[in-house]
Structure 1
Amino acid sequence: MMRVRGGKAASSETARWERLILWGIVVLAVVLRAWGLSHQLPDKTYIEEDEFIYTALKYGSGDPNPHWFFHPPLYSYLLFALYGAYYLLGAAAGWFRGAEEFILQYLVDPSAFYIIARGLSVLLSVPAVLLLHRFGRNVCSPRVGLAACLLFAVMPLGVKYAHYGCTEPLLLCLVLAAAVCAARALQTGRVRPLLAAGAFAGAAMGTKYTGAFALALVAAAVPPPTRVSSWAALLGAFAAAGAAFLLVCPFPILAPQEFAANVSLLASQPLQVGEYSWQRIPNLYLEFARRHMPVGMTAPLAWISLAGTVFLWLRHRREDILVAALPTAFYLVIGRSRLFYDRYMLVCYPFFALAAAALLDAAAARAAGLLAPAAARPRRAAALLAAAAVALALGGAGASARLVRLMVLPETRFLAARWIEEHLPAEARILADDAPVPQTEESVRREQRLKEREPRQEFGYREKTGLYFDLQRRAARGRRGFDVTRILHPRGFHMLGGGRGYEEEWMTPERMKAQLESIDDYDYVLASSTGAYRYRAREILPERFRFLHDFYAGLAGRGTVVKVFRPEPSRSTGPEYTLYRVGEGR
């Protein structure tokens, strides 16, 4: 009887320590993600963050169709609910008297809207860590689950995108929820958790299309489909995924032509290794492992994660296949594409963390078997795993801290815009490269006329017209502004294997060229080193865009340098901006 009580007490003590360590990891994840949350505000740094916020606010007009399907709408619906609560609170407190004042606040100072979206990203890290622990505990062991949580909590890529209002944190939660349900289905043989896994996978697809890779978890959780019941369970789970997707994104049915037009353009971009902005993109199978993963999770953890994934396939337990299924499917498909953005791979990182923890645990158990007597081996193996995980986590935490430190430094483009606002005469005519120089009302009106006359030739980021421009002009009335013309750049091209080029900017190359050739119509030009570097090699540019090289190369001879805005270590970040006085100047 005493042994039973002692065993229960030891088990209870172990569970308490496990909970304590888990919540310590949660706190660490939240602190790393909340630090510097207001970075660069009130300026806008990440274009997709602004698109999500604008889309969510636009639902307030009464139209739930986003009319923009480069991303499915679940995340923007969630933001809309939060902004609705903020509006009701602000209306009750007298912060704004109606919907127009609410939107006007977004245009004058959008900080509150960004903090709400970014705060949601931080809060979503809590269920992500808890779900990863549950998944790791179920398919491996409690200590492997804790080690995976620690490694994932400090990964720089996860910390980076939790500092933005974007889809990735919600996507991670839904995919991990699908993984937990798939593990339960695998271990119990029951259909209900498998259907739940399919539903969570469908919701993940309704957040970001890469959520479709969660279906690999569903497939891995089904027994080998040799019996009719296995096929029925698999088809039922896929049907649940489709139903969940249509529930959160019903527009393939409600607006099929609009949805298909957006998605077909999106689908035409990947699935070939090609050129982007005239830079050759190498084979992404190597590029992800050699460059993106070492930056996103530190080099030691990246290599251990890849080795751990191979180890799981070789050990070949069904639980191991479940862990390795999603990153393997992702790697095989995305490795053949041109979509080299690091954020696309973030959905794999919890599974890579778990694969690394499983490999370290196996190595620790083998080492303990060689170094310790039989009675002490479990404790020694746990200590070795903890030491390895903490060592790797210290490297990740340091890399994440350095990343956040850079994110909170002022960007040179914003410093340039502030200097211009303070020192140049009002309504000066400025040709600006990417810096958010405040516009006059007439400048906003002219930009609106151009966009109405020359709409984009392809579906890119949705145009903002109507009420948005009306309120933008109202916001411009109350501030010191300038007659600003933006230097626009083609976003990308695909020209290999006979593929046609595509542009996502709303200006044609001819109008872009005319805009830059009329340099004497401006008083100042603000140019970035990024543009000069991008177009430095004239001979490799498409013929219709060689004028961009000529423009940047000829600036020094056509204008007088007024001020140079350079990044300074520990004080500012970003490319170098040069302000030239051209034409008559002021």
Structure 2
Amino acid sequence: MLSKSSLGKHVWLLAILFFALFIRLWGINHGFPFIFHPDEPAVIRSAMGIRFDPNPGHFDWPHLQFYLNYGVFFLFIKFRGLLQFLGLQTKISPLFPILWRDPLVFYAISRVFSAVLGAVTAIPVFLTVSNLFNRRAAIIAAAVFALLPFHVHTSHYALVDVPMVFWVAWALYFTSRVYVTGRFWDYALAGLFVGLATATKYNGGLFAVMVPLAYVLRVVEKRESITNPSGLSFLISSAAFAGLGFALGTPYAFLDYKTFLRADSPLGALWQFKNVGSVDFVTRLAQLVRNLLVKLPDDFGYAPIIAYFAALILLVKNKSPKLWLLFLPSLFVLVYVSGFAKTRSHYYMGIYPFVAAVGGYFADYVYSKLQNVPIWQFLRVVLLTLLLTIPLALSVKDSLILSRKDTRVLLYEWLSKNITVLDYVIYDSDDVAPVLEKFSGNTQHKGLSRFPPEGSQGYIILSDSTKTYDFTNRKIVLELLPNFRPGPRILVYELTDRPKVPNERK
């Protein structure tokens, strides 16, 4: 148990962790009873399938998160069985009906698991910055990480990206210890966590570069021989532990290596590398610049990424080895991922602990430079406000939106009250397909090229914002707008005359 003095010492970190968890759990049931993200079912079904076969049978993603989810599911099933054995189901079910609603409850559990991992990732970020710099910088870095908008958003889903960042952050912490102490177990644990990150998502393997980097920076600063037998043996051991971590998380990469090495379908890991594609050097630079100016600022909440590059200028001036340890791996991943044909936001998530750590360092650096300025207290408030307010506002906005009913859930509720078995349904997008599966008794058709016989009753449901139709002769019976709620804009018309030819929006 924490003593009062220990609790007081960590009160800011505990407050950050509490808020990080709160903002990630707020809206965690978004979309229920439907699952609209296409990747969530793949994670949950793979995890549940481990009950029957420990080999998921596909390697488009590595398997660690499947096994961890299965472990959590197993404990939940035992707990639920105990409640039933004690005769408590009738009392608890009215209060928490989702507990007996399969498979929806497993999506909820996995989302909560992801949110918890996302929130506590602030701990290794704090430890890293505390180890490299000081406690004040560490607290700020933890706060920055807790509020990164895209990380908060992704923590609401049962996916592999947030867990991968969790392992990368721990790998970064032990890598920082490699630089500071050079002890064997720091090398070993840094490698192990890199392996676990890779066993969660293959992108995690890119961060293996930081362990040898820490070794080089350490021997240069200590003026030791880079071929020191002890140091090299530690480095080799780190690589071995990385392999062990990957093997523990994805053992069937070795036991079923023929499937693992396939590149002709999503069953194989090599397909994943092939699927992201690659671009030439000029296009890579163009994508890097575009992502730095547009995509990443929005994902980070603007201020943290600005602080990151402001600190990069300080690095050129100060040449701090500690900053090199944070910058070189993250810049390497930035440049490498920008060479993919597909550069989605979640491909960059592994650099989040690095950006947050640099943000904490930069804020502390400015603090120390302004400490003797007469209006120091005011400037301190301004600095923290600039660094944290925009990420906070964007994260709160996103969680608020997710906490409100999806437009497709509202469509489902409306159809449940208004549709009859005789109604014909025409829709233009797969966005609403999960909802219409609940009305399988109705005749349905995707696309507006074919209409039912004249005089048929029913509805036309439009959710594809890339097309426009002339429905001026039809009565609109429902319009659902995504104003501070998730989901597409949905228009529902009564089925009457045939529409005019749709026009693609430029």
* Alpha-carbon distance in structure 1 between the residues aligned to 2:206 and 2:497: 55
Q: Which residue does the alignment assign to 2:20?
A: 29
Relative to structure 1, is the Cα distance of residues 517 and 295 closer, same or farther in structure 2, using a 3 angstrom cutoff? same
Q: Which residue does the alignment assign to 1:410?
A: 405
8 Å Cα contact 2:28-2:402 kept in structure 1: no
Q: CA deviation at 1:191?
A: 2.5
8 Å Cα contact 2:168-2:197 kept in structure 1: yes
Root-mean-square deviation over aligned CA pairs:
3.5
Q: CA deviation at 1:148?
A: 0.6
Tell me the alpha carbon deviations over residues 303-325 of structure 1, each in whole angstroms, 9 at most, x when there is no partner: 22222244336533222111113
* Alpha-carbon distance in structure 2 between the residues aligned to 1:149 and 1:36: 22
Q: Which residue does the alignment assign to 1:256?
A: 257
Letter in structure 2 aligned against 1:430? V
Q: CA deviation at 1:574?
A: 2.4
Relative to structure 1, is the Cα distance of residues 94 and 347 closer, same or farther in structure 2, using a 3 angstrom cutoff? same
Relative to structure 1, is the Cα distance of residues 239 and 109 closer, same or farther in structure 2, using a 3 angstrom cutoff? closer
8 Å Cα contact 1:271-1:334 kept in structure 2: no
Q: Secondary structure at the match of 2:488?
A: coil
Alignment pair present for 1:201 and 2:224: no
Question: Which of 385, 388, 392 is matched with 1:393 structurally?
Answer: 388
8 Å Cα contact 1:150-1:389 kept in structure 2: no
Alignment pair present for 1:301 and 2:301: no
Relative to structure 1, is the Cα distance of residues 15 and 79 closer, same or farther in structure 2, using a 3 angstrom cutoff? closer
- Among the aligned pairs, what percent are the same residue? 19
Relative to structure 1, is the Cα distance of residues 387 and 294 closer, same or farther in structure 2, using a 3 angstrom cutoff? same
Once the two structures are superposed, the pairs formed by residues 399-478 of structure 1 within 5 Å of their partners are 399-426=394-421, 428-432=423-427, 433=429, 434-435=431-432, 436-439=434-437
Q: Which residue does the alignment assign to 1:468?
A: none
Q: Which residue does the alignment assign to 1:180?
A: 173
Letter in structure 2 aligned against 1:86? F
Q: Which residue does the alignment assign to 1:58?
A: 49
Q: Which residue does the alignment assign to 1:352?
A: 355
Alignment pair present for 1:45 and 2:46: no
Alignment pair present for 1:482 and 2:441: yes
Tell me the alpha carbon deviations over residues 187-221 of structure 1, each in whole angstroms, 9 at most, x when there is no partner: 11223211210111000000111111221221221
Q: CA deviation at 1:136?
A: 0.4
Q: Secondary structure at the match of 2:276?
A: coil
Letter in structure 2 aligned against 1:482? G
Q: CA deviation at 1:137?
A: 0.3
* Alpha-carbon distance in structure 2 between the residues aligned to 1:281 and 1:139: 32
* Alpha-carbon distance in structure 1 between the residues aligned to 2:323 and 2:285: 31
Q: Which residue does the alignment assign to 1:563?
A: 477
Tell me the alpha carbon deviations over residues 284-320 of structure 1, each in whole angstroms, 9 at most, x when there is no partner: 2123222222222222332222222443365332221
* Alpha-carbon distance in structure 2 between the residues aligned to 1:32 and 1:115: 16
Relative to structure 1, is the Cα distance of residues 202 and 576 closer, same or farther in structure 2, using a 3 angstrom cutoff? same
Relative to structure 1, is the Cα distance of residues 190 and 324 closer, same or farther in structure 2, using a 3 angstrom cutoff? same
Say which is worse superposed, 167-176 or 565-574, in terms of deviation: 565-574
Q: CA deviation at 1:365?
A: 2.2
Relative to structure 1, is the Cα distance of residues 255 and 336 closer, same or farther in structure 2, using a 3 angstrom cutoff? same
Tell me the alpha carbon deviations over residues 484-542 of structure 1, each in whole angstroms, 9 at most, x when there is no partner: 6574xxxxxxxxxxxxxxxxxxxxxxxxxxx8755448975655443x51xx5xxxxxx
- Unaligned 5+ residue runs, structure 1? 1-11, 98-104, 275-279, 373-379, 441-479, 488-514, 537-551
8 Å Cα contact 1:121-1:164 kept in structure 2: yes
Q: Which residue does the alignment assign to 1:497?
A: none
Relative to structure 1, is the Cα distance of residues 360 and 227 closer, same or farther in structure 2, using a 3 angstrom cutoff? same
Alignment pair present for 1:368 and 2:359: no
Relative to structure 1, is the Cα distance of residues 381 and 74 closer, same or farther in structure 2, using a 3 angstrom cutoff? farther
Q: Which residue does the alignment assign to 2:292?
A: 289
Q: CA deviation at 1:566?
A: 2.8
* Alpha-carbon distance in structure 1 between the residues aligned to 2:284 and 2:477: 35
Tell me the alpha carbon deviations over residues 330-385 of structure 1, each in whole angstroms, 9 at most, x when there is no partner: 1010111123221222221221121122223223322335x36xxxxxxx989855
Letter in structure 2 aligned against 1:319? K
* Alpha-carbon distance in structure 1 between the residues aligned to 2:122 and 2:359: 16
Q: Secondary structure at the match of 1:252?
A: helix
* Alpha-carbon distance in structure 1 between the residues aligned to 2:441 and 2:475: 19
Q: Secondary structure at the match of 2:477?
A: strand
Once the two structures are superposed, the pairs formed by residues 213-228 of structure 1 within 5 Å of their partners are 213-223=206-216, 226-227=226-227
Alignment pair present for 1:322 and 2:328: no
8 Å Cα contact 1:430-1:483 kept in structure 2: yes
8 Å Cα contact 2:111-2:155 kept in structure 1: yes
Give the TM-score normalised by the residue count of structure 1. Answer: 0.71
Q: CA deviation at 1:394?
A: 2.5
Number of equivalenced pairs: 466
8 Å Cα contact 1:154-1:393 kept in structure 2: yes
